[in-house]
Amino acid sequence: MALGRLEPDRPRRSTLGRLFRLLLAVAAMGGIGLFAFQLGIEDERSRQGRLADETARLAEANRQLAETGQAMRSQLQAAQTRLRDLEAAVGATPRISAAAKDLMPAIEKKLAEGADPKRLAEALAAIDKPRDCEAPESKRFLVKTALTGDGPNTSVGFSNGIVTVSGQGATAKNAEGRPEAWFEPNEPVTIRFTQIGGKSVETAGKLPIHHTLNLGQSEHRFSVMASARGFVQVTSERCKIP
């Protein structure tokens, strides 16, 4: 009798078990879904954080780029201003005439020889003034060569011996190519001007040669040109420096 009463409960327990297992499965799936959702939220938050950091970095880079661009524009404006100032200065500078350009080599030569720039400027300023000069002196001497040495008539003195002039040249050759006992006037010669005390200067080139010496308050102008065979003629003019 008792067993007969228990039989109807068995299907009910089976149904409840299946329902319980279903609920457990649903709960498990819900938990997994919630966990996945939470992971998605965390990932999104992380992505949003990275985007915010990248946005801030780009904003800072853009700010620095804008500052650099402004600085470069300021530098460009300053350079353009300096360029305009230089162009104005160059435009205001007097142009050197062709005649002045012709004088520059002579002026540079004098300065290289030790001429005082101030005295040179004074001499140029005094060109149109009357010159106080002594009568020119003209003398001649034998030009030495590799075959001849010092001897009579190989130098001449001017202004009471203040300046002595001598020279050296290339040996002349005859039609057969043999050396002669005099210099070749068509080749360059070296002329030496020796002052009292032994100080000397030389100038070289083809004849005629012109040279100026400033000694004390006097200016000595020399002109050297070919003369009789073996000789050169030297003319000296002594003038007071203004």
Query: Mind listing the pLDDT tens digit for each residue in 86-132?
Result: 777 666 556 677 777 777 888 888 788 777 787 777 777 766 667 78
Output the pLDDT for position 3: 45
Output the pLDDT for position 90: 65
122/4: higher pLDDT: 122
Q: Label each residue of the chain as H, E or C.
A: CHHHHHCCHHHHHHHHHHHHHHHHHHHHHHHHHHHHHHHHHHHHHHHHHHHHHHHHHHHHHHHHHHHHHHHHHHHHHHHHHHHHHHHHHHHHCCCCCHHHHHHHHHHHHHHHCCCCHHHHHHHHHCCCCCCCECCCEEEEEECECCCCCCCCCCEEEECCCCEEEEEECCEEECCCCCEEEEECCCCCEEEEEEECCCCEEEEEECCCEEEEEEECCEEEEEEEEECCCCEEEEEEEEEECC
Q: How confident is the model at residue 1 (pLDDT cuts 50, 70, 90)?
A: very low
Query: Mind listing the pLDDT tens digit for each residue in 136-183?
Result: 999 999 999 999 888 889 999 998 899 999 999 999 999 999 999 999
234/71: higher pLDDT: 234
Span 178-203, average pLDDT:
94
